[in-house]
Chains A and B, each alone.
Chain A
Amino acid sequence: MTAGAKAFSQLRLEGVSRRFGGHDALRDLDLTIEAGEFVALLGPSGCGKSTALNCLAGLLPLTAGSIWQDERRIDTLPPERRGFGMVFQNYALFPHMSVRANIAFGLRMRRLPKDEIRRRTDEAVRLVRLEDHAGKLPGQLSGGQQQRVAIARAVVLEPSLVLMDEPLSNLDAKLRLEMRTEIRRLHQSLGLTTVYVTHDQEEALSLADRLVVLREGRVQQIGSPEELHTRPANWHVADFMGYRNLWTMRVREAADGTVAVELDGLRLVGVPVGPVAPGDEVIVAVRPEDVRVDQAGATTNAVPAQIEVVEYQGRELAAEAVTAAGSRVHLRTDQRVAPGDQVTLSIDPQRLLVFPGDAAATRPADPATAVVEEPGLVG
């Protein structure tokens, strides 16, 4: 398939905002999407990622900002005139139409010649490997097959942009992995610019070229999967990206490049991310897989602890340990530890990230964040 007629080189979102009542669902989203890129909007539920996608699709009017397709302003166009393909979370297949009719729907709306509709529908059916099911109604298909129909229906138009709203969240774990590969394969073979919404960080990391992490309607960080994985911008992003160990500690001393922190006699050394000064309350973040058990010769950040809970996870064990001071440590190890074992945990100072606490982080920012966090305004 070739690129659609209305291909663009850049899609720009400028200050896109959406309010519901007095609540900011999305605030000042600035994002430039290059043609062919796979961008994932990532965040916990209620962070504004689906709002952003619906604004892009034209299903939700903006309350401020603009969307530009090169030099053409598109945020004032109705959805049917934007020419974007969209895959919905619940698939939204037309239940009274066959698989083939579902896929052909968009082509029919464009009043294309009959034989072209037939040819392109056949091609799309083959692309998602549903040749044997083309005549069935969506209700007769499995979840994964329905999902493939939804994807085929969106991509058959060769849209300039494909929007996907948590397309895998209704599938079971095995199917989710298969469909993830399928989506990646389709993106690689068709090169369609894609914006993908998900709350699953693993899904986002594995699919996207670039990730946008949202929280409470605001962008927290934009970057490549690797940047987000190794250098989260703040502790909320770290929390979301799998830094399961988050400890509130106090800074003892801060030199350039390293910072020493303390809590109830437990002393650790790590890398500061953002401005921290002695006496500050900070959040210390470590991934479970960066906690080592009984590493020979480990002297810095060595902490004695007792193993409390062990989960078998195949090649590795996931365990929870408690330090003498009572801090809980999540860790992953290939050593055979058992509940009750006394161990020495160690953490590479380069893998121990020290973030400013929330009080410090919001100090220079505008007071609107506090408004968003007020309970009762959500929904």
Chain B
Amino acid sequence: MSVTTRTPTAESAGPPPPARAHWQHRLAERGVDRHLWLLTPALLFVVLLFLYPFFYGLGLSFQPTEGGPFSDYARFFSDAYQRDTIWTTLGLALPAALLNVVASVPIAYRMRGRFRGKRLVTILLVVPITLGTVLTAQGLLNFLGPTGWFNRVLSGLHLTDEPIRLVHNYWGVFFSLVITGFPFAFLLVLSYLSGIDPTLERAAATLGAGWWQRFRMITLPLLMPGLATTFCLTFVLAFSVFPSAVLVGNPAGETRVISIAAYQAAYEQYDYPYASAIAMIMGLIELVVIAVVLFARTRFYTGSTGGKG
């Protein structure tokens, strides 16, 4: 096309070589910026501290001390004592993550506007993050233990004859997961909620929707993708539970979670390939749950919600 419009003199001199854009412009067109080298430290960090150990463990899991490459995986699934740790862990992590998300919604919904003392309430709700699992476990033992305040109050009021067992079993670990997981869920849900334009609910109100209809038809559908993401994150946190399963749980019995199985393989039997195989299974299960949740998430509207979040 351009040749036909070219002047005769230019044509006689032969078509000039197409002007090559500067290499920086060409890279920029493909989304590569020369400032990207600033990412190198972060990249190095990821490679050294995540990718290398991960692939090392993956390789190790296929080199069992005896048998073929998959024999450690087979060993895990054929042993009911080991296999059941999956269900034990899921039985703790799924309800705990669900409760964290579900409980965050009404509290965050109430707190999304501005009000006096909001900062104080937020701090109180978020403080457990800073405590750490061990301190939480200590508190649970003191508070919920057989001679803790909770049981002393109950027996003092003659509501119970003997202390209710709430630690060193399933409930101890469950409470610990809720206490440490809730602040994360709450902060995430609060930020997702403040990303939803409050005028939408006002518009719904002027159209005749009561508060429950406004929540169910406007806010909740717009919040669902955020809730799915929050669920995934709190689930992952809860699934790798280890300290509280030992400290406030019953690590030999009903709270023998999968990370304990991996720990025992590695540091009691010194069978690193087997421990690696268990760790890989653990990761795989997490991925399956996350994939299911994220697939369900695509069924909701995930575009802009008009807010400032």
Docked-complex contact B206 and A86, CB < 8 angstroms: yes
A232 at the interface (CB under 8 A from B): no
**Interchain CB contact (< 8 A) of A95 among B210, B213, B217, B305:** B305
Docked-complex contact B200 and A110, CB < 8 angstroms: no
B205 at the interface (CB under 8 A from A): yes
- Given A96-B222, A139-B303 in contact, is the A84-B197 Cβ separation under 8 Å? no
**Interchain CB contact (< 8 A) of B207 among A95, A96, A105, A137:** A105
CA gap between A78 and B306 in the complex, in Å? 24
> What are the residues of chain A within 8 A of B205 when measuring CB–CB?
58-59, 78-80
CA gap between A346 and B199 in the complex, in Å? 51
Q: Which residue from chain B places its CB closest to the CB of A111 in the assembled complex? A: B208
A83 at the interface (CB under 8 A from B): yes
**Interchain CB contact (< 8 A) of B301 among A92, A93, A96, A110:** A96
B218 at the interface (CB under 8 A from A): yes
CA gap between A139 and B222 in the complex, in Å? 14
Docked-complex contact B202 and A88, CB < 8 angstroms: yes
CA gap between A157 and B207 in the complex, in Å? 8
Docked-complex contact A105 and B204, CB < 8 angstroms: yes
B45 at the interface (CB under 8 A from A): no
Number of interface residues of B (CB under 8 A): 23
> What are the residues of chain B within 8 A of A110 when measuring CB–CB?
208
> What are the residues of chain A within 8 A of B303 when measuring CB–CB?
95-96, 137, 139
A221 at the interface (CB under 8 A from B): no
Q: Which residue from chain A places its CB closest to the CB of B214 in the assembled complex? A: A80
Closest Cβ of chain B to A52, distance in Å, is 15
Docked-complex contact B200 and A157, CB < 8 angstroms: no
- Given A92-B200, A95-B304, A137-B303 in contact, is the A84-B206 Cβ separation under 8 Å? yes
CA gap between A314 and B210 in the complex, in Å? 53
Q: Which residue from chain A places its CB closest to the CB of B196 in the assembled complex? A: A95
A106 at the interface (CB under 8 A from B): yes
Docked-complex contact A92 and B208, CB < 8 angstroms: no
B300 at the interface (CB under 8 A from A): yes
B203 at the interface (CB under 8 A from A): yes
> What are the residues of chain B within 8 A of A270 when measuring CB–CB?
none
Interface size class of A (residues with CB under 8 A): 20 to 34
Closest Cβ of chain B to A263, distance in Å, is 48
CA gap between A93 and B306 in the complex, in Å? 9
Docked-complex contact B300 and A96, CB < 8 angstroms: yes
**Interchain CB contact (< 8 A) of B208 among A90, A94, A109, A137:** A109
Docked-complex contact B197 and A79, CB < 8 angstroms: no
> What are the residues of chain B within 8 A of A117 when measuring CB–CB?
none
Closest Cβ of chain B to A188, distance in Å, is 23
> What are the residues of chain B within 8 A of A92 when measuring CB–CB?
197, 199-200, 202-203, 306
Further 19 A-B residue pairs, CB within 8 A, beyond A90-B197, A92-B203: A79-B202, A80-B205, A80-B208, A85-B207, A86-B202, A88-B203, A90-B199, A90-B306, A92-B199, A92-B306, A94-B204, A94-B218, A95-B305, A96-B303, A105-B204, A109-B208, A137-B301, A153-B207, A157-B208
25 contacts between A and B (CB under 8 A): A58-B205, A78-B205, A79-B202, A79-B205, A79-B206, A80-B205, A80-B206, A80-B208, A80-B209, A80-B210, A84-B206, A86-B203, A88-B202, A88-B203, A92-B199, A92-B200, A94-B203, A96-B222, A96-B301, A96-B303, A106-B207, A109-B207, A109-B213, A139-B304, A163-B206
